[in-house]
Amino acid sequence: MRISIASAAILFALGVTLAVPVGAAKPNTRNRAEIPAQYRWDFSPIYPDWQAWEGGMKTLEANMDAFAAMKGSLAKGPNEVLKAYRAFDAIGVQQYRVFRYPQLQRDTDTRNQDVAGKFQRVTALFAKFGTATSWFTPELLQIPQATMERWIRDTPALAPYGFTILDSYRQQKHVLDEMGERLLSFSAQFAQTPSSAYRELSTSDIRFPQIKLADGSEITVSPANYQQVLRTRYEQADRARAFTAHLGTYAATANTYAALYNGVLQRGWFMAQARNFPATLEAALDGNAVPPEVVTTLVETVRSGTAPLRRYAKLRQKLLGVAEYHLYDTSIPPFRTDRAYDFDASKDLVLAAVAPLGADYVEKYRRWMSGGKLDVYENEGKRSGAYSANVYGVAPYVLMNWNDTLDAVFTFAHETGHAMHSVLSNEAQPFVTSQYTIFVAEVASTINERFLLNHLLERTSDAKERFLLLQHAVEAIVGTFYTQVLFADFELQAHRLAERGQPVTAEVLNGIYLKLLKDYYGDSIAIDDLYKFTWARIPHFYNSPYYVYQYATCFASSAKLFRDMTAGAPAERAAATERYLALLRSGGDDHPMRQLQKAGVDLTQRATVQAVIEQMDELVSLMEREAAKIR
Ligand SMILES: [Zn+2]
């Protein structure tokens, strides 16, 4: 079964960095009750009240029990298989409702213990269901694949489940016999040790020092304060001091970090070998049937496409007027603005920006936006950041913490891009294939950001405003493309060391990281030796190996699709737009690589990745031109 608690809980979140709010367009209150209703979520389409939610919990539990009672029935024939899948779908739809109702309310006031308690009841119920259904996949796979294929062919009602069923057979190749699986299951608990020890070391046990800044103020260089210094302190010496203190903290225990990371690598290699994969990369990509060339082509293409990244660094150095340009200088904006973006006006702006996607898309966007599915402003107790959370059969809900900045406008385009993906997928797909993977999710969000950028650029001829817009777009490419590929490159090299039985020490990892900085940035930055410890502080390396490359492949897919939809003859553009909308509607009805191929994106080809590099090149050229006009 593809549906689990984890997927029911899926949120496409963006960690937004909240700048100091400017302007007065947003409500002058943090009291939720005082914020006008049109800016708050309406939960009633999920359940009218808590009593109805209690009823939903009861029905769900009864349906779960009924499903568990189907154990032993699958081999009887296609109708029994169909019955089980339909029952599971109905449970999945209910799971979304009972889960989101308390979860969304908790996020609007995290202090509410009553709601938090109800939410815990949901997770407990889901866990029970997970255990009660563990019989399903093994029992299904007892039926020979040829028989199952015939059943699917002869039973039209089974067709919507065909992809999901056959994908279970595909993954079966790496499932061991009962004894093997039993042995592997014994390792599940201790296999978490490297990640959990990393979490303790990097959060509970870490002590960041205090530093004194040029204006006499003192701060502790925690991750959040460190980022804040890099973005807001115009004295280069302040940024340098914060960098030395922050990275130095990781450097002080680098050998422990290296030992833990080695644990992650060894665990990956152990599991890959146990399940008969040739290497860790193949094992990591098998779930979504992604060929390993996707990652290797990505890394190779980007390695030979760093020229625009370096030009951007040189431009920034010139604008900041610093004799030496360091990595800690890459976040401070060369120009400041106090322009405030009002939410309602921005909503219209985003709607106008996506007009090229067609009247139908825009109309659905508008309708969804006006239905109480947006929680716009911050309030006392509300969680930070922004996300889109789908409720199949109802609609996606989007959380924002609107702060009137340009970043907020882009975040809004991003999260509502996810939401529209859900709107179209919910409408076109049965529940079983309605959920899309991360691999395609970030395409829908970044395309909307790209349309917004284009629209905003078309509307202004002011050099400074244009520069700030371009900067936003280029920063996104640096952050979600170049930096993530550098990370993926690091992961690949580190895993290969483990696969070859070579030592993994802090010194070795430092060496790889330092070389990567030189390979990617060349002489466009002055490389500080302490940066070689950066690998120690990247949570993804420890928590989800081989994950970050997906940010870059999504970005590449989105760049390619955007170019197809906006360049070339009108008929070609129209065809590309139709293919893109079909991708959104397809939800999760196939492996993500095939879904993207149908939309015209082949991630095994260098040209796809090259599209981002060309886009970056173009944007940096525009920035150079606008910058020349500003002074
Ligand atoms: Zn996203």
301 CA distance to ligand 1 centroid (A)? 24
Q: Lowest mean pLDDT: which of 9-18, 61-70, 196-205, 452-461? A: 9-18
- For residue 277, report the distance from its CA to the centre of ligand 1, in Å: 31
CA of 438 to the centre of ligand 1 (A): 9
What fold is seen in the domain 44-175? Butyryl-CoA Dehydrogenase, subunit A; domain 3 (1.20.140)
Cα 386 to ligand 1 centroid, rounded to whole Å:
9
**pLDDT for 9-56, tens place per residue?**
334 443 333 333 333 457 888 899 999 999 999 999 999 999 999 999
Q: Tell me, what's the pLDDT at 384? A: 87
Distance 446 CA to ligand 1 centre (A): 8
pLDDT in tens, 522-531: 999 999 999 9
81 Cα: distance to centroid of ligand 1 (angstroms): 35
Range list of β-strands (E), 446-554: none
Ligand 1 centroid to Cα of residue 402, in Å, is: 16
CA distances from 291 to 281, 312, 448, 496, 575 (A): 9, 32, 27, 17, 27
Q: Residue 257 and residue 201: Cα distance in Å, rounded? A: 8
CA 618 and chain centroid, separation? 26
| Mean pLDDT on 158-172 | 94
Instruction: Give me ligand 1 centre to Cα 604, in Å.
Output: 23
Question: Is residue 265 a contact partner of residue 259, using CB atoms and an 8 Å limit?
Answer: no
> Residue 131 Cα, ligand 1 centroid: separation in angstroms?
31
pLDDT at 138: 87
Ligand 1 center from residue 11 Cα (angstroms)? 9
How close is the Cα of 445 to the center of ligand 1, in Å?
6
Ligand 1 centroid from CA 252, angstroms: 34
Is residue 584's pLDDT more than 90? yes
Distance 415 CA to ligand 1 centre (A): 6
Q: Residue 522: left if φ>0, alpha if ψ -120 to 50, beta else—which one?
A: left
Q: Distance, CA 548 to ligand 1 centroid (Å)?
A: 13
Q: How many A from CA of 15 to the centre of ligand 1?
A: 9
3-state secondary structure of 504: coil
- What is the CA(478)–ligand 1 centre distance, in A? 16
Question: How far does the centroid of ligand 1 lie from the alpha carbon of residue 339, in Å?
Answer: 25
pLDDT number for residue 490: 98
Ligand 1 mean position, distance from CA 610 (Å):
22
Distance (angstroms) between ligand 1 centre and the Cα of 418 equals 7
| 10 CA distance to ligand 1 middle (Å) | 11
Query: Which residues have CB atoms below 5 A from the ion given as ligand 1?
Result: 12, 14, 445
CA of 92 to the centre of ligand 1 (A): 23
Give 601 Cα–ligand 1 centroid separation in angstroms: 19
- For ligand 1, the distance from its centroid to the CA atom of residue 383, given in whole angstroms, is 17
Give per-residue pLDDT as tens, 540-580: 999 999 999 999 999 999 999 999 999 999 999 999 999 99
Q: Over the stretch 99-149, which tens digit does the pLDDT of each residue have?
A: 999 999 999 999 999 999 999 999 889 888 877 788 898 899 999 999 999
Identify which of 440, 436, 437, 434 has the alpha carbon closest to the alpha carbon of residue 160: 434
pLDDT digits (tens, 9 = 90+) for 501-524: 999 999 999 999 999 999 999 999
Per-residue pLDDT reduced to its tens digit, 272-292: 999 999 999 999 999 999 999
Question: Which residue's structure tokens are 């015939």?
Answer: 150
Distance (Å) from CA 477 to ligand 1 centroid: 14
Average pLDDT of the segment spanning 389-413: 95
Nearest to 208 by CA among 239, 251, 240: 251
DSSP 355: G
Distance CA 79, CA 141 (A): 16
Q: How far is the CA of 13 from the centre of ligand 1 (A)?
A: 6
Give the Å distance between the CA of 100 and the centre of ligand 1.
Answer: 19
What percentage of the chain exceeds 70 in pLDDT? 96
262 falls in which pLDDT band (50, 70, 90)?
very high
Distance (Å) of CA 480 to CA 367, 473, 552, 599: 31, 11, 6, 22
Tokens, residue 581: 């909308």
Instruction: Give the distance (Å) from ligand 1 centre to CA of residue 421.
Output: 11
Q: Could you identify the residue written with the tokens 């009924």?
A: 66
Closest Cα partner for 616 from 463, 487, 479, 477? 477
How far is Cα 211 from Cα 294, in angstroms, rounded to an integer?
A: 43
> What long-range pairs does 133-136 form, CB within 8 A, spacing at least 24?
133/1, 133/67, 133/68, 133/88, 135/71, 136/1, 136/71, 136/74, 136/84, 136/88
DSSP summary character for residue 285: H
Which two structure tokens, joined as six digits, stand for 525? 């930055």
**Residue 327 DSSP label:** G
* Rounded Cα–Cα distance for residues 313 and 525 (Å): 7
- pLDDT digit string (tens) for 316-361? 999 999 999 999 999 999 988 888 999 999 999 999 999 999 999 9
Alpha-carbon distance of 286 to 272, in angstroms, equals 11
The pLDDT value given to residue 631? 65
Tell how far the Cα of 584 is from the centroid of ligand 1, in angstroms: 14
Distance from the CA of 98 to the center of ligand 1, in angstroms? 24
CB contact set of 518 (below 8 Å; sequence gap of 6+):
527
Report the length, in residues, of the chain: 631
Helical H segments across 209-342, by residue range: 223-232, 236-252, 254-274, 280-285, 293-303, 307-320
Q: How far is the CA of 159 from the centre of ligand 1 (A)?
A: 31
Kindly state the tokens that stand for 91. 């449970």
177 band by pLDDT with thresholds 50, 70 and 90: confident
CB-CB contact of 580 with 447 (8 Å): yes
Separation of CA 607 and ligand 1 centre (Å): 24
Give backbone dihedrals phi and psi of 86, rounded to 5 degrees, phi first.
Answer: -65, -40
- The counts of H helices and E strands in the chain are 27, 6
Ligand 1 mean position, distance from CA 19 (Å): 19
Among 345, 337, 342, smallest CA distance to 466 is for 337
Distance 143 CA to ligand 1 centre (A): 39
Q: Is the dihedral of CA 330, 334, 338, 342 positive or negative?
A: negative
Contact 213, 229 (CB under 8 A): yes
Contacts of 612 (CB under 8 A, 6+ apart): 477, 481, 552, 555, 556, 559
Please give the order of strands across the beta sheet that includes 374-375.
12-14, 386-389, 397-399, 374-375
How many Å lie between the centroid of ligand 1 and the Cα of residue 57? 30
pLDDT digits (tens, 9 = 90+) for 463-504: 999 999 999 999 999 999 999 999 999 999 999 999 999 999
Cα(126) to centroid(ligand 1), Å: 26
Cβ–Cβ < 8 Å for 405, 339 = no
Whole-number Å distance, alpha carbon 139 to ligand 1 midpoint, is 36
Please determine, for residue 590, whether its predicted confidence score (pLDDT) is greater than 50.
yes
Output the CA 416–ligand 1 centroid distance in Å.
9
Separation of CA 155 and ligand 1 centre (Å): 38
How crowded is residue 448: how many other Cβ atoms within 10 Å of its Cβ? 27
CA of 398 to the centre of ligand 1 (A): 12
Instruction: Please give the Cα distance from 374 to 370 (Å, whole number).
Output: 8
CA 481 to chain centre: 13
**396 CA to centre of ligand 1 in angstroms:** 14
Q: How far is the CA of 544 from the centre of ligand 1 (A)?
A: 17
Cα gap 203→255, rounded to integer Å: 17
Alpha helices of 136-232 — where are they, by DSSP H? 136-141, 145-154, 162-172, 178-186, 193-199, 223-232
Please tell me the distance from the alpha carbon of residue 208 to that of residue 16, in angstroms, as a whole number.
Answer: 23
What are the start and end residues of each CATH 1.20.140.70 domain in the chain?
44-175
Expressed in angstroms and rounded, the spacing between residue 417 Cα and the centre of ligand 1 is 8
Instruction: Report how far ligand 1's centroid is from the alpha carbon of 516 (Å).
Output: 27
**Phi/psi class of residue 385: alpha, beta or left (left: φ > 0; alpha: ψ in -120 to 50)?**
left
- Locate tokens 């061991």: which residue? 176
